[in-house]
Structure 1
Amino acid sequence: MSRTSVTEALILRASRVGEYHKQLLLLTPDAGLVKALAFGAFKGKSRLVSASDPYSHARVHLYRNPVRDLFKVSDIEVIHTYEGLRNDLERSYAAALLSEVLASSYAGGGPDYRYPFGLLRRTLWYLETGDRREGRRGVFQFLLRFLLHSGFLGAPGECGRCGTGFGPFDEVLFDSRDGELICTACSVEGALPVSAGVRRYMEGAMKFPLSQALEIGIDDSLEQGLVDLLRELLQGTLNLQLKSFEIYFGIPVS
């Protein structure tokens, strides 16, 4: 196997190592999450300084040390920087949340990482170019689509226990132990009530293209229901305690 490779990547994190270097966490469409060291990326004159900032979309040249099984960044060709995400506090919190979910869940565990890679790339573009309400809808769509695609969240059309199909106005329950929506007949202690509106919004994330789904309006009641469901799923089912989730959804959208 070749020690050198070139991959398209989105930079999820960049942390300082020593005085001059960066440890990058990359999301790639083929290998999923890859950690790579960018030597000199904190030196003022290095071309890696700005190219290795979080959320950048780039073509990354990697060298793998087979003895230590470590990756080193030898070059980065920037495709898009998403500078608008880093220059706006709310947008940066949104991007941090998406990155943290991917990092904490191993990008869904594979084997096909093209879906989360493409979904993140498109969502970052909507976050950068849209207004705050469009950005909030983009975050909801990303989380629902990623969690549904990865199997962390059961299909919203039928009970995850008995298989009974839900009617369009049925209120259902969420069982965090299994990550499934269940009917009232299969109710278990501690299950979270989920409104018909929240469930239909989830179905829209499965049926409609992202651009079309982002046009669906979200009122305060629907937003709170989505936040409650996603918090229960991330914390109860996946056992992820994400600070970025509470920070981002604690920001009111005007």
Structure 2
Amino acid sequence: MGQTIVLTGMVLSAVPVGEYDKRITLLTRERGKISAFARGARRPNSQMMAASNPFSFGQFEAYEGRSSYTVLKADISNYFRELTVDLDSAYYGFYFMEIADYYGRENADEIHMLKLLYQSLRALENAHLNNRLVRRIFELKAMVINGEYPNVFSCLKCGKNENLTHFHVKSGGTLCSSCAKGVPSFYIDESTLYTMQYIITSSIEKLYTFAVSEEVLEKLEKIMNEYMKNYIDRKFHSLQVLEENEGFAAGILTEKDGR
């Protein structure tokens, strides 16, 4: 026998179904990641039209059937509308939601991932924050939440927590200067190491409260690119679009600088 429940969550994605309906994916506090039908969501003047769009965060009243959910109504507290008018930030936002979808599981505890997603989208709306840094913070913290983060607090070989100068991707962490000899690895400076340690250990509320130099950001980007490539077995469509867009923008800047 089905029942009506109230779920707090965010719409990760939505696809049309039939002539007027949508099938949405929700990341919720109470039931983890679920799929649900939003009946009549594509009808003009439907209350569910805006509420069933990606980025919509709030409370969703849903009927829980034997094999599916149906959203009956929604009370949205944040649509993140600023992301929809900033194409660059929107690309990042869709990428974050793809990662949340990748890790999300039904009936699993997704409270921390939901909180991270919400705070990260808010960070994208902050013009004073670098979206490239927001992305790397989100990626690393998402892996922390799901238990796949690297050990950057001690040497993987000898266990010492001093002179951690290299990062070994396949082993998943740092090596001290002695153990790194002859081992193919990335050099990691003290500032980049501290940045990763801070992201891993800080609460979600304190994540987006710092800035780093361009040099540190580039090193962090290099490490995270290789680490995620090794530990995540999915290609994210939004990431491909994002990187193509960043490459296009970089090309324009290069042309301007050359004039």
What TM-score do you get using the length of structure 1 for normalisation? 0.84
- Asked if 1:113 corresponds to 2:107, the answer is no
CA deviation profile, 1:189-214 (whole Å, cap 9, x unmatched)? 65444443322110111344556543
**Correspondent of 1:97 among 84, 95, 98:** 95
Q: Tell me if structure 2 keeps the 8 A contact 1:161–1:186.
A: no
Question: How do 1:220-235 residues align onto structure 2 when only pairs under 5 Å count?
Answer: 220-235=214-229
Identity across the alignment (%)? 20
Question: How do 1:125-140 residues align onto structure 2 when only pairs under 5 Å count?
Answer: 125-128=122-125, 130-131=126-127, 133-140=129-136
Q: Secondary structure at the match of 1:4?
A: strand
Q: Tell me if structure 2 keeps the 8 A contact 1:141–1:210.
A: no
- Asked if 1:205 corresponds to 2:199, the answer is yes
1:31 corresponds to which residue?
31
Q: Following the alignment from structure 1 to structure 2, what is the Cα–Cα distance between the partners of residues 31 and 45?
A: 29
Q: Following the alignment from structure 1 to structure 2, what is the Cα–Cα distance between the partners of residues 183 and 37?
A: 53
Q: Following the alignment from structure 1 to structure 2, what is the Cα–Cα distance between the partners of residues 192 and 101?
A: 25
Q: Following the alignment from structure 2 to structure 1, what is the Cα–Cα distance between the partners of residues 231 and 162?
A: 22
CA apart distance, 1:46: 1.3
**Correspondent of 1:147 among 137, 143, 146:** 143
CA apart distance, 1:106: 2.6
Q: Following the alignment from structure 2 to structure 1, what is the Cα–Cα distance between the partners of residues 181 and 104?
A: 31
Amino acid aligned to 1:125: R
1:173 corresponds to which residue?
167
- Asked if 1:219 corresponds to 2:213, the answer is yes
1:6 corresponds to which residue?
6
Q: Following the alignment from structure 1 to structure 2, what is the Cα–Cα distance between the partners of residues 43 and 14?
A: 15
Stretches of structure 1 lacking an aligned partner (at least 5 in a row): none
Q: Following the alignment from structure 1 to structure 2, what is the Cα–Cα distance between the partners of residues 3 and 226?
A: 47
Q: Following the alignment from structure 2 to structure 1, what is the Cα–Cα distance between the partners of residues 133 and 71?
A: 34
Q: 1:215 to 1:59 in 2, by over 3 A?
A: closer
Q: Tell me if structure 2 keeps the 8 A contact 1:234–1:241.
A: no
Q: Following the alignment from structure 1 to structure 2, what is the Cα–Cα distance between the partners of residues 187 and 54?
A: 48
CA deviation profile, 1:80-104 (whole Å, cap 9, x unmatched)? 1111111110110111111111111
Q: 1:157 to 1:54 in 2, by over 3 A?
A: same
Q: Following the alignment from structure 1 to structure 2, what is the Cα–Cα distance between the partners of residues 89 and 188?
A: 44
1:158 corresponds to which residue?
154
Deviates more, 1:45-54 or 1:142-151: 142-151
Q: Tell me if structure 2 keeps the 8 A contact 1:162–1:186.
A: no
CA apart distance, 1:229: 1.8
Aligned residue pairs total 247
**Correspondent of 1:86 among 84, 91, 101:** 84
Q: 1:189 to 1:72 in 2, by over 3 A?
A: farther
Amino acid aligned to 2:120: T
CA apart distance, 1:223: 1.9
Amino acid aligned to 2:85: N
What TM-score do you get using the length of structure 2 for normalisation? 0.83
Q: Tell me if structure 2 keeps the 8 A contact 1:179–1:237.
A: no
Alignment root-mean-square deviation, CA? 2.7
Q: 1:49 to 1:7 in 2, by over 3 A?
A: same
1:61 corresponds to which residue?
61
Whichever of the two has the greater Rg, that structure is 2
